Amino acid sequence: MTTTVRPAIAPANPRFSSGPCAKRPEWTPEALADAPLGRSHRAKIGKAKLKLAIDLTREVLEVPADYRIAIVPASDTGAVEMAMWSLLGARGVDMVAWESFGSGWVSDVTKELKLADVRTIKAGYGKLPDLSAIDFDRDVVFTWNGTTSGVRVPNADFIPADRKGLTICDATSAAFAQALDFAKLDVVTFSWQKVLGGEGAHGMLILSPRAVERLESYTPAWPMPKIFRLTKGGKIVEGIFEGETINTPSMLCVEDYIDALQWAKGLGGLKALIARADANAQVIHDFVAANAWIDNLAEVEATRSNTSVCLKIVDPDVLALGEDGQAAFAKGIAATLEKEGVAFDVGAYRDAPAGLRIWTGATVEKSDLEALMPWLSFAYEQQKAGLKKAA
């Protein structure tokens, strides 16, 4: 094994967390100077800011004009739960999962909502389930990009245009980095702290006309918590989609989201954001191709994420250590990178297989990822040397 000398160049920004993610390049707290702090979100200035956030979301994300957009509580989790509690139960539902968050939605539908007619279509980490097994006469809940597995759907071709059920898509680590086919999606959710590097606690809920029709024609059998209520008297509450939020938002976080959206718009919009994420992810894919000890967790190239790149260690000596030993080895690499100050929060998600997870969304600079790659080799060899010494 060739010994790698401690690299001389470090990433300028070592923040590669998969959420909250890195702020946009050149961000400073001064970017939030125009936030209407100490003002009501229902005052004219507050409503204007919230409406601006919605309008910029539509423009940058290229959301169709007849789709409604709302700012909702509790991040992407709140948005997904709001959709499931409000819309499911009118017909059978297919739950599609291939990583921890998708599995969480399965658990909520079966154990909390306790729907009777539920089919679960699952796959293990690194794979997509058989998408042809989905029955689109039923409602369907799925993630576009598995944040904890690095596996995404390559496109929406598997969804028929003439479907009878609704498609509810958790797109939190895909929005602003991957091309979402809104014509095939009835509900899209995401949070601010992913691709645009915003702050946590706020989610986005996007509804197609078909989803609105369901809301106005169907009443769930269970009590609806206040923060989930999107209708009143059988009609959708239009104000929610104009910035009249159900609960009190942080105007500081709203300002930060607006700043990120304006940065994205100035960059060139959605195409530019996708191009940045693609180029960032390619840095890691090229590194993996050149190093036999590491591989993508996503087994099929077309399904590999361009945001949450998940990696597994395939060195035979490490594999021989068993699950606990592999986990310790991977954690050792992540700990070394953090100690050196070159990469923070790059360990695999707690429920995922042992390995690394490196965020490559649009707010990350390609040059920082290029600087990080030699450090991956350095940290790996440090751990491997310790393994040999222990033997």
Instruction: Report the CATH number at residue 157.
Output: 3.40.640.10
Residues 55 and 311: their CA atoms lie apart, in Å, by 37
The pLDDT value given to residue 2: 55
Instruction: Let me know whether 247 and 182 are in one domain.
Output: yes
User: Is the Cβ–Cβ distance between 298 and 320 less than 8 Å?
Assistant: no
pLDDT of residue 374: 98
Let me know whether 206 and 332 are in one domain.
no
Q: Are residues 110 and 252 in the same domain?
A: yes
pLDDT, position 17: 98
Which of 208, 236, 266 lies at the terminal end of a domain, its last residue? Answer: 266
- Looking at the domain assignment, is residue 22 inside a domain? no
The number of domains in the chain is: 2
Of 240, 266, 292, the position where a domain reaches its end is 266
The pLDDT score that the predictor gives to residue 3 is: 63
Do both 290 and 262 map to the same domain?
A: no
Does residue 75 fall inside a structural domain?
yes
Three-state DSSP class for residue 306 = coil
One domain, residues 62 and 141 = yes
Residues of the chain short of pLDDT 50, as ranges, are 1
Do 87 and 214 touch, CB atoms closer than 8 A? yes
Domain span holding position 182:
35-266
State whether 95 and 185 are in the same domain: yes
Q: What is the CATH number of the domain that holds 273?
A: 3.90.1150.10
Q: Which pLDDT belongs to residue 4?
A: 72
Note the pLDDT tens digit of each residue in 289-323: 999 999 999 999 999 999 999 999 999 999 999 99
| Residue pair 131/124 in contact by the 8 Å Cβ criterion | no
Tell me: do 276 and 256 sit in the same domain.
no
Region for 178 from its dihedrals, namely left if φ exceeds 0, alpha if ψ lies in -120 to 50, beta otherwise: beta
Judge if 95 and 162 occupy the same domain: yes
Question: Is residue 24 one of the residues assigned to a domain?
Answer: no
- Nearest partner of 363 among 7, 21, 87, 114, judged by Cα: 21
**Where is the domain boundary, 266, 290, 305?**
266
